[in-house]
Amino acid sequence: MPATVLVGTQWGDEGKGRFTDLLAKEMDLVVRYQGGHNAGHTIVVDGEAFALQLVPSGVLYSHTVPVIGNGVVVDPAVLLEECAMLEARGIDTSRLVVSGNAHLIMPYHYEVDLMTERFLGHNKLGTTKRGIGPAYSDKAARIGLRVQDLLDEKIFRQKLEVVLREKNALLSRVYNRLPLDGEEIAERYLKELAPRLAPMIGDTVGLIHEALAAGRQVMLEGAQATYLDVDHGTYPFVTSSNPVAGGACVGSGIGPREISRVIGIVKAYVTRVGSGPFPTEVEGETADRLVDRGHEYGTNTGRRRRPGWLDLVMLRHAVRLNSISDLAVTKLDVLSQFETLKVCVAYEGPEGERYEHMPYHQSVLHRVRPLYEEVPGWGDDLAGATKLEELPKAARSYVELIADQTGVPVSYVGVGPGREQYVTFSA
């Protein structure tokens, strides 16, 4: 059975978790393929909210095997804490498998993240300060420690000694910070964390391929989103991995021919956290209304998200970048409060030129003007809708506009935070 990829089409926080959760019901394996605990998914089950950072959403179903793929960066303490939190709330985490090839987030990664941001001053990226970028940098520089190193004390210590020499020089001589104690780190990772993580470590590539060969359902769950992709996002205001669907192959160990469906998650409006260009950003009362009704504060960091109107230029380009087969629209109910809505259908460049797709040159993107189509709102509360016919006409038209403008069908529409609050909208 071919695999399905779920990918965010904007700057993250599209509500991927709730659709991963919905689709996980039919899945045998749910695999995270990139990112780390910079991600935050909130899933509401029977009125109870579960905030997940590292563990794939599939964990909430007892028949699903949650997998942390090789493309993820893992802070073992955070992972174990999350498992303990889930266990305390009656969720069995014993099926979780973590790739031995995934890289570890180490204490110096947090320090370097913090100090790099501080040194960038007003050019800072607004990272989550979880050590994500520095961990991926070390991976690319081939000085990273991997999850499997926790199982070999000699290798772990050797690698740590080498890398810490450089990190401590950087921390003390450049950043004027105290050097870190290698022995303390080794003791903590090897003696405290490794024995608890060891039963979860496994050959995830083998596991995924066996599942695919046996005709089982595999879902690859992206964290962050298309425009936070290190290659295709609004660089440098991006994360350090590849959330795009192509990253799902690399981060899980399968080839593109194994994927048959790519679901793009699109919030009915747009938000972003941290710095960077945002053509349809709004301020003032409209912003407050979107943030308040949409509860647009980071799951992890509590930061207020920057809100804006739906941007179809971004979305069209995201469809291309990810080979999106169908879309899931989230949080349509948040727009119910507006009499009219704005949807960006194109950009006008600094010379008056029209862009239907993202301009490749970042400095153009910083200076574009969004060209809006104004569409009627629906006023009614959508929360109870479960069928297409129950959506007000204007809400249906809004969703149809998205499908028409992007050329891909919309399969689901979220109308509330609960597990059952969605409408199937397939043609």
Applying CB under 6 A, the residues found at the interface with ligand IMP are: 12-13, 38-40, 125-128, 130, 132-133, 223-224, 228, 237, 239-240, 273-274
CA distances from 155 to 152, 159, 162, 281 (A): 6, 6, 11, 49
**Nearest approach, Cβ of residue 407 and ligand IMP (Å):** 26
**Nearest approach, Cβ of residue 395 and ligand IMP (Å):** 26
Q: Which is nearer to ligand IMP, 198 or 235 (CB)?
A: 235
Peptide bond into 236 cis (omega under 30): yes
Pairing verdict, β 310-311 and 65-68: unpaired
Distance between CA atoms of residues 219 and 222, nearest Å: 10
**Nearest approach, Cβ of residue 124 and ligand IMP (Å):** 9
Q: Which is nearer to ligand IMP, 135 or 254 (CB)?
A: 135
Q: Which is nearer to ligand IMP, 65 or 135 (CB)?
A: 135
Q: Which is nearer to ligand IMP, 33 or 355 (CB)?
A: 33
Sheet holding 218-221, edge to edge: 201-202, 97-99, 65-68, 29-32, 218-221, 3-8, 259-267, 326-330, 410-414, 422-424
Q: Which is nearer to ligand IMP, 273 or 401 (CB)?
A: 273
Question: Under DSSP, is residue 51 helix (H, G, I), strand (E, B) or coil?
Answer: strand
Is-contact 288 377, C-beta < 8 A? no
> Which phi and psi angles does 128 have, rounded to 5°?
-80, -5
Is-contact 369 355, C-beta < 8 A? no
**What is the CB-side half-sphere exposure of residue 3 using CA atoms within 13 A?**
29
The one catalytic residue in 41, 109, 232, 317 is 41
Q: How far apart are the first and last CA of the chain?
A: 23
Q: Which is nearer to ligand IMP, 148 or 330 (CB)?
A: 330
User: Is 13 known to be catalytic?
Assistant: yes
Is-contact 113 38, C-beta < 8 A? no
**Nearest approach, Cβ of residue 232 and ligand IMP (Å):** 14
Q: Which is nearer to ligand IMP, 11 or 398 (CB)?
A: 11
User: Is 41 known to be catalytic?
Assistant: yes
**Nearest approach, Cβ of residue 172 and ligand IMP (Å):** 23
Distance between CA atoms of residues 132 and 120, nearest Å: 17
> Which phi and psi angles does 359 have, rounded to 5°?
-65, 140
Question: Under DSSP, is residue 423 helix (H, G, I), strand (E, B) or coil?
Answer: strand
Distance between CA atoms of residues 304 and 412, nearest Å: 27
Distance between CA atoms of residues 36 and 202, nearest Å: 18
Q: Which ranges of 276-409 would DSSP assign to H, the alpha helix? A: 284-294, 312-322, 362-365, 393-406
Catalytic positions are 13, 41
